[in-house]
Amino acid sequence: MQHVSPIREPLVTGGKTYHDITEDISRQVEAKPNIRWALALAVSLFFLGIFIYSVYRTLWYGIGEWGLNKTVGWAWDITNFVWWVGIGHAGTLISAILLLFRQKWRNSINRAAEAMTIFAVICAAMFPVLHMGRPWLAYWVLPLPNTFGSLWVNFNSPLLWDVFAISTYFTVSLVFWYLGLVPDFATIRDRATGPIARRAYALLSLGWTGSAKHWSRYETVSLILAGVSTPLVLSVHTIVSMDFATAVIPGWHTTIFPPYFVAGAIFSGFAMVLTLMIITRDVFFLKDYITLEHIESMNKIIILTGSIVGIAYITEFFIAWYSGVEYEQYAFINRATGPYWWAYWSMMTCNVITPQLFWVRKIRRSIVATFIITIFVNIGMWFERFVIIVTSLHRDYLPSSWVMFYPTKIDVGIYVGTLGLFFTLFLLFAKYFPVINMFEVKTILKSSSGVPHTLEPEKSMHATTPVTHQNRHHD
């Protein structure tokens, strides 16, 4: 006899069967692109074209195309780098940490979050490479034997730590994401009717047959990767924060940066996941799988991490006052009242005040309100990085060197262009790969409804549904 919680709402609605899940999720891969997807891709490709043009200008004419100057040597490039790395954090947290804690609500959103992580890290990696000025020499950041005498990387530099942290993070996230796709690739392989699609998905599925041995190895490797990925959630943005925390510049030299940056990364990452999931559930008609329960659960994490970020902002001001160092105190007063006051108060409004609306259950479960607030959160997190970097640099110890930073059209073009790159990759992923993890959603089906789900005889022997799922869920 099944017991259904009178409090917790089901994670899959609509009275779905195992066959329905396979049909609903596979349909968006097998069907022709709809008009909304095509329009979204066209817009993304337009912005990708802006990115390509802006990168061309940067490589051909040099970093002088950006708005940098002698005082503000870091600006939009490092701001965008930290912002994109932060957005990529939610994927690993949902995939790894929530897996280890057996949180079932992650099953419908983990794949899209993992894909978002990979695409965000690709966008982030663009900025340090472009800022080198000579990106064809980017391999010099690696500790490789060379013929240039004693030329070697500086292992004491946090910029080198970034190289190892980001590359490790990208590699583990890519393996974790692809591993989860293998069983679903096999499902689409068995359903494919065209020879090209069948061969392509057969290659991607790595010979998956769904045997007990395959499932056992799959579960083992998933847990190992989750264990490896969990420290990365904390370490990657900790190391990114050390780009600033290890400096002696007022406004940067503070020990609160590592936990502050990690909380901010999860905060912005979950906001972007929500933004994408709200669009995906509407475009691909997946409202029965990405439900209000999923949206509310993610909004609760946004409340938590947003509150931590707000406390960090207040703590920074307190420590600046408590330090008794006039330069540190001026750095923070300048942020709030100086020429970039509008950026600081935009940050405070979007990151501290706006997320507190989620304490109201009606707002927390509203699709429109959630979509708007998550947009505001990501705007606020971009301003946070801008405020930390630019306002700490533009007024240093010498008033004669005080300057303002003004972005050029190439600065803006590269930034909006990476948004085009990100959404182009995500839209292609959502169309040609299963955007929701079919077999993991099937594992929560019985616990999501009071009606026992049994397959009809003709559906249980459906040639396009892997026998593994039936064996796995009908023990």
Q: What is the pLDDT of residue 459?
A: 38
**100 occurs within a structural domain:** yes
DSSP string, 35-90: HHHHHHHHHHHHHHHHHHHHHHHHHHH-GGGSS--SS--SSHHHHHHHHHHHHTHH
pLDDT single digits (tens) 37-64? 899 999 999 999 999 999 999 999 989 9
pLDDT single digits (tens) 86-99? 898 877 777 788 88
**142 occurs within a structural domain:** no
Q: From CA 331, how far away is CA 255, in angstroms rounded?
A: 16
**Domain of 298, in residue numbers:** 18-136+160-446
Q: pLDDT class for 139, splitting at 50, 70, 90?
A: confident
pLDDT single digits (tens) 224-274? 888 888 888 888 889 999 989 998 899 898 889 999 999 999 899 899 999
Taking alpha carbons only, the member of 42, 196, 116, 125 closest to residue 429 is 116
Mean pLDDT over each residue of the chain, to the nearest integer: 85
Tokens describing residue 362: 């009606």
**370 occurs within a structural domain:** yes
204-212 mean pLDDT: 89
**120 occurs within a structural domain:** yes
- The four Cα atoms 77, 80, 81, 84 give a dihedral, to 10 degrees, of -160
State the Cα angle at 274 between 272 and 280, rounded to 5°. 105
Q: pLDDT class for 469, splitting at 50, 70, 90?
A: very low
| Residue 95 DSSP label | I
Q: From CA 67, how far away is CA 58, in angstroms rounded?
A: 12
Of 36-45, 142-151, 264-273, 441-450, the range with the lowest mean pLDDT is: 441-450
**455 occurs within a structural domain:** no
Tokens describing residue 71: 């005082």
| Residue 9 DSSP label | P
Q: From CA 449, how far away is CA 392, in angstroms rounded?
A: 54
CA 170 to chain centre: 11
pLDDT single digits (tens) 375-401? 999 999 999 999 999 999 999 888 889
Residue % of the chain over a pLDDT of 70: 91
Q: From CA 181, how far away is CA 188, in angstroms rounded?
A: 11
CA 431 to chain centre: 19
pLDDT single digits (tens) 338-366? 999 999 999 999 999 999 999 999 999 99
Q: From CA 268, how far away is CA 380, in angstroms rounded?
A: 9
Q: From CA 371, how far away is CA 9, in angstroms rounded?
A: 21
pLDDT single digits (tens) 185-207? 999 998 888 888 889 999 999 98
Q: What is the pLDDT of residue 333?
A: 93
DSSP string, 165-196: HHHHHHHHHHHHHHHHHHHHHHHHHHH--SHH
pLDDT single digits (tens) 291-321? 888 899 899 999 999 999 999 999 999 999 9
**8 occurs within a structural domain:** no
Q: What is the pLDDT of residue 5?
A: 58
Dihedral pair phi/psi, residue 329, rounded to 5°: -65, -45
State the greatest distance between any 2 C-alpha atoms of the chain, in Å, as a whole number. 82
160-171 mean pLDDT: 90
Q: pLDDT class for 467, splitting at 50, 70, 90?
A: very low
**144 occurs within a structural domain:** no
**269 occurs within a structural domain:** yes
Could you give the number of structural domains in the chain? 1
